[in-house]
Structure 1
Amino acid sequence: MASDAKTRQFECGGAAVDRISSLPTSLMDSILERLPTDDAARTSVFSKTWRDVWPMRPRIHLDKNLISELVFEKFSELDEHTQLLELSQTITDIFSAHRGPVLDFLLFIPENLPIHQTLDMAIWIRNISDSGVRKLKLLNESLYNPFIVPSHFFSCSQLTHLTLVNCELNPPFGFGGFCNLISVELKYVGIYADTSLGTQLKELDMEVCTGIEHLGCQFNCENKLTSLRIVDCEAIYYQWFECIQKLQVLELGMNELPSTGKQVITLDKLVHNMPRLSSLFLDGFFLKILKPGAASFMRLSRTMENLKYLYLHCIELYELDQSQHVLCLVRSSPNLQLLKIDLLHGVQSDDGVDLSDFAVLSDPMILSRLETIMIFDLVGSLTEFQLIELFLVSSPSLKRIKLKTLTMKDPTDVFRISQEVEQIPRASKSAQIQWM
């Protein structure tokens, strides 16, 4: 019994079978795919069969957990400069031990250890470029030390998925652009020269980026974009929206009013060339810089037949233009299924805009497919009650309306708001009001 427990061998036909070394290659790859890089590397001690499996594995993920483990468990007693050198050497050793192509590479750069400033970083980028890397994530947490992407990066012609955080892109003269990129995510990225992400791009996500005007060549009649997100960038170029007819998901946000306050486009023109749009996310700061447009509280010139999800963030209902934009978007989306509105309250009067005139228009609002409404940060103003009433009486398929009040000092205010909402008539008898 002791011998059996010690060896843990299985008998098959009188001969000992090493089950872990007899696993199919596909199953070994599946196991390694689910392990962190450091644990995957340790599997090489299992047997001779496993010794060559990890070095040929096409993925190297040096994520935050692994980097933190290396720093705090192995280099914690060293000063930061020595930690930087040791960490850089460890990553170099990982590349040296890896013999196969690296098709999927992720590197996390700690805030206090700018390993991207070492000479080794350019070598790592060259290695993955030569390997034909397809998925690349460079996550630089050191915000005051942006990573200046080396020229080898622009030779990664096989890239399909790219994520960059806190980097600087300055493509070399004559760079023809990427040709296989499908998805790109940029955060805290500066772009300093004209850059093409390729004609295959379908998803583009930019947050707190500068120099995005250098991507103008991306927005032509041949683009295949289906998802576009631009949040907190220095500017938004409205001519781009004339060439994205395949777009299905759009998110635009400013989070603060631009210093120029220039209004250059109407809401109608913004979405006019997006017939396939199914999800739309807009914030109030962005809506402020839009021109109201004629009859903006009624309908857009082109009905958004495919819009299913509408999310409006930081909406100030006491602003006439924003109230009109909200109603215009909702009225123009007959197949809307989910509507979410996050309210923002300023110093103006809570009563704000009287929506009663909008409710009695000869062109009534009918939301026959709307099932869920979510309105957050209510304070109990007249405008809010009118908006809720307008939605409730116009939505015969409504199943639930989720409401949340802003934190209030007096609990009776919350009770009062809930009581008044409960008394509003509903087109759908099954509509349930849920307080969050």
Structure 2
Amino acid sequence: MYLLPSSLFSCSQLTHLTLNNGLIHPTSGFQGFDRFISLEQRNVTISSELLGSLISHCPLLEKLVLNISKVFVSDIIDINAPKLRLFIYTGKIRSVCLTNVPLLAKECLFCDDSSMEENCFGFAKFFESCTALKGLLLVFTYPEFELAELYIDEVAARLPSDVNSVKLFELPFLKLVESYMLSCVLCLIRSFPFLEYLEIQVENEVDVGSTESLELEGFSDATFNHLRVVRLEHFGGTSHEMQLVRLFLAKSLYWSA
């Protein structure tokens, strides 16, 4: 871990900055980088308050990459970036508040094992200000989801509010062995009513059979009327994979008879 040199904070013409494993301690009177277009921080030690202030003082920021360490478990990073278009985040969803991101079009979220809150994954507030979000790539880390059924009885059918802007949704490295995991996926998909493109990369596992069936009658309010393309990679024909396919076929306007 190294301390970022104080001379960096006087480089007012900087437009792109990538930091790895450093310690940020700005000089007194530092007002931010008003020419920043891209900021990437991976395992950088900085307080959540200072990070939020740094971001808010980058009025031209379009790309933000944050890999947040466990030091931020109880802190909230406030992101006020009116020009932000791409956000790549690794950490706990509950540690981030997207206060002002009206132009944000694409998010890549790598959610760790405490990102999920009961019934709504902690995503409800996260998506509130993402009115321009078109594409979402979401990676759930493990093992929380493998053990989730042990302490959470059920998943809400959908988020409290639909996210109408999302048209592309990618779910790589997804395990569908557990019924709970399948319910998580469906909760998110049903919360994107104008979804057009869905890609799921399945993590191949031994098919232990489904302890409960995904009955189509239970999804009477679910429609995928705008869904045009579904891509399933590493498809192995397991019970839950087949249930997912049957649901799309039954509920999609473009595929229904």
Q: What residue is the counterpart of 2:7 in the other structure?
A: 152
CA contact (8 A) 1:284 1:322 kept: no
Displacement of 1:283: 1.7
Partner Cα separation in structure 1 for residue 10 and residue 195 of structure 2 = 44
Q: Compare relative contact order (CA 8 Å, sep 6+) and give the higher one, 1 or 2.
A: 2
Which residue is 1:207 aligned to?
67
1:310: how far off? Answer: 0.3
Structure-2 change in CA distance of 1:211 and 1:177 (3 Å):
farther
- CA 1:219–1:345 in structure 2 vs 1: closer, same or farther (change >3 Å)? same
Per the normalisation by structure 2, the TM-score is 0.76
Structure 1 counterpart of 2:135, from 238, 262, 279: 279
Report the structure number with the largest CA radius of gyration: 1
Could you tell me which residue of structure 2 aligns to residue 432 of structure 1?
none
1:8-56 per-residue CA deviation (whole Å, 9 max, x = no partner) reads xxxxxxxxxxxxxxxxxxxxxxxxxxxxxxxxxxxxxxxxxxxxxxxxx
* Residue in structure 1 matched with residue 31 of structure 2 by the alignment: 176
- Whether the 8 Å CA contact 1:314–1:344 is kept in 2: the answer is yes
> Where does residue 43 of structure 1 map in the other structure?
none
Identity value in percent: 25
Residue equivalent to 1:340: 199
Q: Which residue of 2 aligns with 1:356?
A: 214
Runs of 4+ in structure 1 deviating by more than 6 angstroms, as ranges, are 291-295
CA RMSD of aligned residues (A): 3.5
CA displacement 1:227-251 (0-9 Å, x = unmatched): 22112x4x44445145545432222
Q: 2:249 aligns with which of 392, 395, 412?
A: 392
Question: Is residue 251 from structure 1 mapped to residue 111 from structure 2 by the alignment?
Answer: no
| Partner AA of 2:109 in structure 1 | L
For residues 366-377 of structure 1, the aligned pairs below 5 Å read 366-377=223-234
Question: How many Å apart are 1:354 and its aligned residue?
Answer: 3.7
Uncovered stretches (5+) of structure 1, i.e. residues with no partner: 1-145, 398-425, 429-436
* 1:186 paired to 2:41: yes
Number of residues of Structure 1 aligned to a counterpart in Structure 2: 244
User: 2: distance between equivalents of 1:151 and 1:211?
Assistant: 23
1:164-202 CA distance string (max 9 Å, x none): 344432323442322222221223433368241324123
Q: Secondary structure at the match of 2:218?
A: coil
Tell me, in whole angstroms, the C-alpha distance in 2 between the residues paired with 1:379 and 1:163: 40
The TM-score normalised by the length of structure 1 is: 0.48
Q: Which AA in structure 1 matches 2:190? A: R
Asked whether the equivalents of residues 173 and 203 of structure 2 are also in contact (C-alpha less than 8 Å), the reply is yes
Is the 1:278–1:307 contact (alpha carbons within 8 Å) kept by the matching residues of 2? Answer: yes
Distance 2:154 2:98 in 1: 20
Which amino acid in the other structure matches residue 374 of structure 1?
R
